A and B are shown apart, each in its own frame.
Chain A
Amino acid sequence: MEKKKRENYLIVLLAGLIMIFLIYIGSTWGNKLKWDFTEENLYRLSSGSINVVKKLNSPLRIKLYYSKTAANKGTEGIRAFNNYFTYVKDLLLEYVGHSRNNLTLEIIDPRPDTGDEENAITYGIRKFNLSETESYFFGMVVENDVGTEKIIEFFDPGEKDKLEYAITKTIYSVARPAKKKIGILSSLPLQSDLNPYLAQMMRMQGKNPPESWAITELLSEFYQIEKIDPMAQEIKGIDVLLVVHPKNFTEKIKWAIDQYVLGGGNLLLLVDPMAVIDRPVNPSAGFSRSSNLPVLMENWGVKLEEGVFVGDKSLAGLGRVTPEAPPAKMLQIVSCDERCTSPYKDITTTGLYDLVFLLPGSLKILDKKAVPILGTTEIGNTFSASEFELNDPIALWHKFSGGEGRVMGVKIMGMFSSAFPKGITVETKKLTGLTRSKREASIIVIADVDFIHHQFAFKETLFGLALANDNANLFLNSVENLSGSTDLLSIRSKGVKKRKFNVIDEIELEADKETAETVTRINASISEAQTELDKLGAQVNEGNLAVIKSQALNKKRELDKRLAFYKGQLREVKRQGREKIENIGRFFQYLNTLLIPLLLIMGGLIYNTIRSRRNAREV
């Protein structure tokens, strides 16, 4: 009996060990079999990434540095990093799986005072000190046999949406390491022609030499920059063409742009119905600040709506028309947050939540090749206004009516036909060229120029110019995106869609609307009372001073009363909005906490009463 008992316990122990072994085998080998149930396909590589690794023709090594041992010594909070490490590792294994044996993955846990730690520091992987003895690394190096290496210095779980793009870009840039060349073609002085020596001389003479725009300086840190002659007949030898504010362009340069795109060249085009920064040296009556390339753009599948600007009351930024005027919400300023970029899930604009545009234009999509990457909210619309009207933001605000949303930026990818199929004639000379695309090209069009000017993209700090918002990032993202391959361009951002409480947002928007109306009424009352007081002030003379003074005091008292009334209204509107939201929250809390338990108690009581009655009857 004892022997049998011991045998049985041994079997239980053996079964336990087999169970652990089976689980371990399943966890190690069964990870490759997976199904992604997310709407955004968060756990699958996009076709762009697959193409990039499939096209590799030389071996690359990926070294993933993760301080697992150190992380395990950390707090419970570091579990998020452990989970993110698993996500990154699984994604990298997918890259390796698609690379036809051209990629290898090595996972390194750098321990203190070892060669691995030294290497991680030499590569530039970011180091965090967890304690006096433990350091934490979570980065990646991609290198090839000829010594080219690129790193991701730290995998931030907060940037999960850009992870795939970052990895693919790193692999791509190691596979093609040459510095990219950007051609700039603009009617604005983006790049100064002045020799640095001459500029220095001019400064010494107390003159202000023309300088390149801050954005061009920033661009030159990452790329080789070449100025394109506006009279050129051919554009070649560059990786990306940047056309900014194409104003009064000749047929010849338009033809050159057309041929450049047909040849597979990538283009970033910034057009504007009114570029405020386009200031004439000698102001003249017929000066126009608008730019457009209608024939070419329509041929690519997009059109800039002429003479109208995009406005959105929910995105209106604060500004003032004159330095003396109080700051007010202005339709002219479109201050974008995630609502302008998140819905499009494009890698160029994803994660940019602070963009400022001044009188941007509206882009109409004519062909399905063009996809929006930047837009207003669903209440955005276009408006037209004369220069005079633009100086009266309050009147403009009241005149504006909401629409169904407008597009301010698009990305176009594909093959095109020429906008000049029969060629052009320049000074009696006939120019002919490609009539259809040779290779696929990519174009990004943004309907604003002002956003890259340092006035809107940078701010002065003690240490020089610093980024004021995401404007420069939008510009750099676009250039970077276009300087990669079309595969890289096609990678969509894997942003987890922010699934907002639409109902609550609507209530808040409604309350905001009512608040804005009351604020406008308050402002109108103040300015009305101020005008009356000014009028009274103008009538003052020695004889009527006392009378006017008492009238002014009465007016002031009346105004204070009116203001108190409006402020009360304002509080009431805000309270009502808040209460509505709190009531909804409370309702759902009760619904989810109490409804089913109460129903169950009632159901149970009824069921058991019936049962006991039936039993009693049977007895």
Chain B
Amino acid sequence: MISNSLKTIFKREVKGYFSTPLGYVFIIIFLFSIGYVTFEPGRGSFFITRSADLSSFFKYIPWLFIFLVPAMAMRLWAEERRTGTIELLLTLPVSIREAVLAKFFAAWFVILLSLLGTFPMLLTVAYLGNPDWGVIFLGYLGSFLLGGAFLAIGSFFSALTKNQVISFILTVGTCYILTMAGSPPILEFLSAVFPKYVVSLFESLSMLNHFDSLSKGLLRFSDIWFYAVMMFGWLVGCGLLLKENKAN
């Protein structure tokens, strides 16, 4: 059951996003950027490929999320620590677990709203042709899960440092490495240093490989498991860091 305190913090956080320009700025930048890159006049542009699917839309999502999600996540805890409100929050009758989850879910909800804001893309493909809705649905699911995983990483680094800029840089760096984990140049670099099983272990951490398979219409248990473990693991880490702060 979802506790009342979790619900309360969640509502407060969501309200916080929209009573300041933060939520709007995030959604507007995301929608504008994704719209622009999808229709940009390049070789893979949506209107040039003339294919009634959203592949030219989904392929940019990870790259936009790498910068946008850390920007949203950096304030999750670092801001509370900087302003000192974290002490107040942690003295309330709220467990750290609830606080971490509530903040995470609120930010994830904003990501969901941003993805829902791309609904004109659905109208566009439906008008122009006959899209495969199953593939599109999984593409959105993959984007939502990817956003969640990046956010969990962001939560962790936000709890690690008071400085939002450092938190942002660390999150972007980690998200980038995890996105590129399946990339041949990185694997080549690793294979020169580490044995084969370490390389394949690292390859299994590739965000992009798991996202690719979802955006192509294949729902594998391993992909869902990957994102679930990613979110769970980084959020547990975030909770432990906060516990450590509380003890201090």
Chain B residues whose C-beta falls within 8 Å of the C-beta of A431 in the assembled complex: none
Interface size on B, residues (CB 8 A): 69
Which stretch, B33-41, B71-79, B83-91, B99-107, touches the partner chain A?
B33-41
Which stretch, A27-35, A93-101, A253-261, A270-278, touches the partner chain B?
A27-35
Q: Which of chain B's residues has its CB closest to A26's CB? A: B225
Are B182 and A501 in contact, CB atoms less than 8 angstroms apart? no
The residues in B between 3 and 60 inclusive whose CB is less than 8 angstroms from any CB of A are 18-19, 21, 24, 27-28, 31-32, 35-36, 38-39, 47, 50-53
Bound-state Cα–Cα, A177 to B173, Å: 55
Max chain B Cβ within 10 angstroms of own Cβ: one of A503, A596, A597 = A596
Majority SS at the chain A contact face:
helix
Max chain B Cβ within 10 angstroms of own Cβ: one of A30, A37, A38, A75 = A37
Are A500 and B129 in contact, CB atoms less than 8 angstroms apart? yes
A interface footprint on B122-140 (CB within 8 Å = 1, 0 otherwise) = 0110011111101101100
Q: Which of chain A's residues has its CB closest to B130's CB? A: A499
Is B183 part of the binding interface, using a Cβ–Cβ cutoff of 8 Å? yes
Q: Which of chain B's residues has its CB closest to A18's CB? A: B233
Are A73 and B184 in contact, CB atoms less than 8 angstroms apart? yes
Which of B38, B51, B240 has a CB less than 8 Å from the CB of A500? Answer: B51
Is A23 part of the binding interface, using a Cβ–Cβ cutoff of 8 Å? yes
Chain B residues whose C-beta falls within 8 Å of the C-beta of A39 in the assembled complex: 132, 134-135
Bound-state Cα–Cα, A33 to B219, Å: 9
Q: Which of chain A's residues has its CB closest to B137's CB? A: A37
Chain B residues whose C-beta falls within 8 Å of the C-beta of A69 in the assembled complex: 191
Question: Shortest distance in angstroms between B68's beta carbon and chain A's nearest beta carbon?
Answer: 14
Are A499 and B191 in contact, CB atoms less than 8 angstroms apart? no
Is A328 part of the binding interface, using a Cβ–Cβ cutoff of 8 Å? no
Q: Which of chain B's residues has its CB closest to A37's CB? A: B134
Is A43 part of the binding interface, using a Cβ–Cβ cutoff of 8 Å? yes
Are A592 and B220 in contact, CB atoms less than 8 angstroms apart? no
Is A222 part of the binding interface, using a Cβ–Cβ cutoff of 8 Å? no
The residues in A between 575 and 617 inclusive whose CB is less than 8 angstroms from any CB of B are 585, 588-589, 591-597, 600-601, 604, 607-608, 611
Chain B residues whose C-beta falls within 8 Å of the C-beta of A545 in the assembled complex: none
Which of A5, A23, A601 has a CB less than 8 Å from the CB of B244? Answer: A5
Is B243 part of the binding interface, using a Cβ–Cβ cutoff of 8 Å? yes
Question: Shortest distance in angstroms between B63's beta carbon and chain A's nearest beta carbon?
Answer: 13
Chain B residues whose C-beta falls within 8 Å of the C-beta of A430 in the assembled complex: none
Which stretch, A7-15, A198-206, A315-323, A515-523, touches the partner chain B?
A7-15
Are A12 and B240 in contact, CB atoms less than 8 angstroms apart? yes
Q: Which of chain A's residues has its CB closest to B236's CB? A: A15
Are B217 and A37 in contact, CB atoms less than 8 angstroms apart? yes
Using a CB–CB distance below 8 Å, which chain A residues touch chain B? 1, 4-5, 8-9, 11-12, 15-16, 18-20, 22-24, 26-40, 42-43, 69, 71-76, 78-79, 82-83, 86, 497-504, 585, 588-589, 591-597, 600-601, 604, 607-608, 611
Sampled A-B contacts (22; CB under 8 Å)? A1-B247, A5-B244, A15-B237, A19-B230, A19-B234, A20-B201, A26-B225, A27-B225, A28-B222, A29-B222, A31-B220, A33-B220, A42-B216, A74-B184, A76-B183, A78-B184, A79-B184, A499-B129, A500-B50, A585-B47, A589-B35, A593-B32
